[in-house]
Each structure stands twice: as C-alpha cells, then as structure tokens.
Amino acid sequence: MTSLPAVPLTLEGASVLHQMMRFRWTAWKALAPAQQDAALEEAAATLGAPQSATQQTAVYSLIGHKGDLMFLHFRKTFEELNQAQIALARLRLSEFLEPATSYLSMVELGLYESTLKLYASLAERGIEPHSAEWNLEIETQLARQRQAMAQRLWPAIPDRKYICFYPMDRRRGESVNWYQVPMAERQRMMHEHGMVGRRYADDVKQIITGSIGFDDWEWGVDLFADDPLVFKKLIYEMRFDEVSAAYALFGTFYVGVKVEVGNLAVLLKT
C-alpha cells in the first residue's frame, strides 16, 4: 500500500467574484440630474434582476480608502461570472467606476474529518490510492456529501447590514509549513478553529471560498453581520487558536455597508 494522499477532499459550489471599485465623483457630479437618474435606473434594473441560488448580486458601500463600492456576485459557473462582469461594464454607471481590485473564488467546504475516515476505511480494505476502485469510492462519497450539503454549497448572500471580506493563506516557510503537517494534525487544528466560529453562529454568517489556482491567495472569507463589532471579536479570538497563531497569513480587509440596488440613488445622487 502506497502512502495515503495528503490532500483533504473538498466540495465546491457557487462561483464567486468580488469587484472593488472607486467612484469617479468629480465626473459624476458634472452630469445633469436627468443623466444621473437614467444611469441609476439602468443600473437598478440590471443589478436588481430576479435572483436565485445560482444567480445573485449584492452591492456594498465600502468604508475607508480602499474603494467606494463592492459588487459581490454568486453564479453557477465562471462563464456566468464573466457575463456578470461584462454586464456591469456595459452600464452607463460603469463610466464612473474605476476598478481597485477584485477576487475570484469558489464556495468550498473542506472535509478533513470525512477524508480521514474514508481514507482509513479504503486502506483497511486494501484499496490502492488513486486506483480506479479508489477513485470510484471517493466520487461516490463526494456525491452523497454534495447532496447533503447543497444549501451550504449554494448559499444565499446573507441579508445582513455589514460585510467583512479578506483573503488568507496558510504559512509555508520559515519555521512552520502547513502543507507538511500530517492530515490528522491539520484536522485537529481545523476542528478547534471551527469550534470558535460556532460560538458566533447566531451573530455572524460565514462563507468560505477556495481560490487556489484562481487568485493570489488561497482562500477568501466573507463575514456578514448586523453589528460590525462581531467581526473584530470573532477574528481576534480566532487569532489565539493554533491554526491561526502558527499558520495563518491574512490579506487586505474590506468592510462595507449593504446598499439595496434600488437605493443606489440615495448613495450617489448629488
């Protein structure tokens, strides 16, 4: 029997695109009120189109200097994300939007515990890793999990007032390297990490997306809450657990206030 794979199984769902924009206020203010109204009505009609689990867009007013607006798109495929990006670019309003950055990822559920159990079961039965029988057993298990976790793989964008988005990596250098830690140890640390988050489940909704091979970081984290203080408390407490204290690297944080697309005029009308 060869060594068991080190990579945990994952389930993937919605394709996700964050678009952070700066707003060209000077050019916008130069428009006649009627032109502003027309641009806002067009944007509201496009962005406010009927939504479903596989076709959602939300808009947030960013706080701070990193941008003015963030457009969050959930779609079924990357092709549909590309169509959402193009649709936004075609709007009259886009003439006043300057891209600050973006983030491309996919809803991801890590299956550390299930992976360990399944790999152990397959090894006990003498099934060789990566053999045809092994791959069939893996796909059968993943198919069951996808069905059971469909709501988590295709979530609705939470209807909360505030959003906090940040990308992150696992450390792989210096004195520690997440990718050289045995899977059982990684599973233990991730379980402890997850237990912290569960204590905040009523106050904050979390959506984790995977971005390895898609963007500059490995994961994206979206937190949604009606009180932004919970972001600070949750993330601060998590810094003290082993997986974060020893192995986590964090990217730029973006915090924003949700804007209903029909109320863009309240935010932008001069």
Residues belonging to the active site: 166
d(CA 78, CA 72): 14
d(CA 119, CA 94): 50
d(CA 184, CA 182): 6
Instruction: Name 114's Cβ contacts closer than 8 Å, sequence gap at least 6.
Output: 9, 141, 145
Q: Do 107 and 207 form a contact (C-beta atoms < 8 A)?
A: yes
DSSP letter (8 states) at residue 204: -
- The residues facing 147 across adjacent strands are none
d(CA 238, CA 189): 11
By DSSP bridging, strand 97-110 and strand 162-170 are unpaired
Give the residue carrying structure tokens 């964050």: 18
